[in-house]
Structure 1
Amino acid sequence: MVASAHAAVKEEPVTYTDGETTMKGFVVYDDATQAKRPGIVMVHEWWGITPHIHNEARKFAEQGYVAFIADMYGDAKTADNPKDAGALSGSVMKNPKAMEQRFNAAREQLAKQPSVNPQRIGAVGYCFGGAVVLNMARTGADLAAVAVFHALLGPNTPAPAPGTVKAKVLILNGADDPFVKREQYDALKKDFDAAKADYRIVEYPGAVHAFTNPESTELGKKFNLPLRYDAKADQESKAEAAKLFATNLQK
């Protein structure tokens, strides 16, 4: 699928609920075409819904997808420091059932968009969001393909049974990311191999955490964290994700 040469990417807020919690997501799409398109659920970094996830969603919309920015914290909460970000992300990761409910609520909102083909839905996640998306793949979420960038790999859900993982899984991480341990890769491979999942891991030499976020270098300096933008890894990983979705969503 090729986006229109006269693409006009629109972004609209979408209010939805998870139980009694109000969620504030965004649908991002090119309104130059009326054709139904594949959809991609986008899950933010631990900071919450920031300019980074908006920019990423626009890029996918320009490629011919309808992107839905999921609100995993409720009321579009954001954090401007690691302590608060850790508290917000931890509240989700420690409650896998709530994580699943919030992800599925976002997926449902995406699937009901009039411009979306509900049979062709994937997901993308960054950092914390990558962990969310990987956990959803492990639980058998109805997704054709998922790509995760600088994802945290510690599982928060049980090892999947054979045949459970429906999605093609692409993990795009920095080879020098200190937040991801070798034993976590080993555990993930063991689980996915046993589940007969279709997955691939790509590691980018020299890249550390948050390499797709242009703001990460300054955030790393500000908070003394191993965060750094890496233009080469960013470009190469996005090309890998584009191929994954072109093959598995744009059929």
Structure 2
Amino acid sequence: MKSRKIEYRVGDTVLVGYLAWDDARSGPRPGVLVFPEAFGLNEHARLRADRLAQLGYVAFAADLHGQGKVYPDLPSVMPAIKALYGDREQWRQRARSAFDTLIAQPEVDAQRTAAIGFCFGGATCFELARIGAPLAAIATFHAGILPEQAGDAGRMQARVLICNGADDPVVKKDALEAVTAELRRDRLDWQLIQYGSASHSFTDPTADQRGMPGFGYNALAEARSWATMRALFEDAFQR
């Protein structure tokens, strides 16, 4: 296995991503973006990139804050998240720049790409897909997806997998209904799976340590959602 850091830019903001691939394989192969939780490009995101590389993909874990910054807790990161929520054009540019960086790597087959994201990163997958990025598939995990913007209709091309904890207090029912209405309208290939007894951040083994109500790790939900993501990619990339 190999990995390297890659710097890329949006305007004056320098972003530092993490690329992982299996150097025992030869030739270009599908590339997968990994958008981290709100806290930034931490060990959780890098590990997912490594796991994707072990499956034969080239994975690029993106930096959405700049300089690879990782925030220690929710209160400290909220100003940065609210700033991107308030400037979705900047948010989308950062997502698109990560995509462009991924497909520029010589290990990547630029015609076969996907994205996954966790929490804020899952919402970022949707922001990228809504601007027409040519993704074969996106998979989101405990994602607080925002409603679409004017002009977004019909631009998303990807197959969609939404993995949500049934006991997640952060992801609201009306938000999921709005997103699935969007997917129905555009006649996309989509799945929404609710995992029983799973809370917010159910894929993160450190979630319980944060001491936040409604946040918690669920090993069974993590394993099942990852397996479903793998099946989605196998289907998407063979066509």
- TM range, normalised to the smaller chain? over 0.9
Q: String of CA shifts for 1:110-133, please: whole Å, max 9, x gaps.
A: 101111100001000000000111
CA distance in 2, matches of 1:159, 1:42: 26
Does 2:152 match 1:160? yes
TM-score by length of 1: 0.91
SS at match of 1:74: coil
Match of 1:127 in 2: 119
Superposed, 1:54-133 pairs within 5 Å as 54-133=46-125
Q: String of CA shifts for 1:137-161, please: whole Å, max 9, x gaps.
A: 2332211100001111222633732
Match of 1:136 in 2: 128
CA distance in 2, matches of 1:158, 1:207: 33
Does 2:178 match 1:193? no
CA distance in 1, matches of 2:147, 2:76: 22
More off after superposition, 71-80 vs 130-139: 130-139
Amino acid at match of 1:143: L
Does 2:234 match 1:234? no
Structure 1 counterpart of 2:12, from 10, 20, 42: 20
Q: Give 1:250 deviation, angstroms.
A: 4.3
SS at match of 2:44: helix
Match of 1:4 in 2: none
Aligned residues of 1:159 and 1:191 also touching (Cα < 8 A): no
More off after superposition, 120-129 vs 27-36: 27-36
CA distance in 2, matches of 1:217, 1:140: 36
CA distance in 1, matches of 2:127, 2:76: 22
Does 2:200 match 1:212? no
Aligned residues: 239
Unaligned runs of 5+ in 2: none
Q: Give 1:20 deviation, angstroms.
A: 1.1
CA distance in 1, matches of 2:200, 2:72: 17
Aligned residues of 2:131 and 2:152 also touching (Cα < 8 A): yes
RMSD: 1.3
Aligned residues of 2:122 and 2:140 also touching (Cα < 8 A): yes
Does 2:161 match 1:170? yes
CA distance in 1, matches of 2:226, 2:17: 23
SS at match of 1:98: helix
Unaligned runs of 5+ in 1: 1-8
CA distance in 1, matches of 2:164, 2:186: 22
Match of 1:179 in 2: 170
Aligned residues of 2:167 and 2:214 also touching (Cα < 8 A): no
Q: Give 1:104 deviation, angstroms.
A: 1.0
TM-score by length of 2: 0.96
Identity %: 35
Q: String of CA shifts for 1:52-111, please: whole Å, max 9, x gaps.
A: 001111110000000001111111111112111212222222211111111111111110
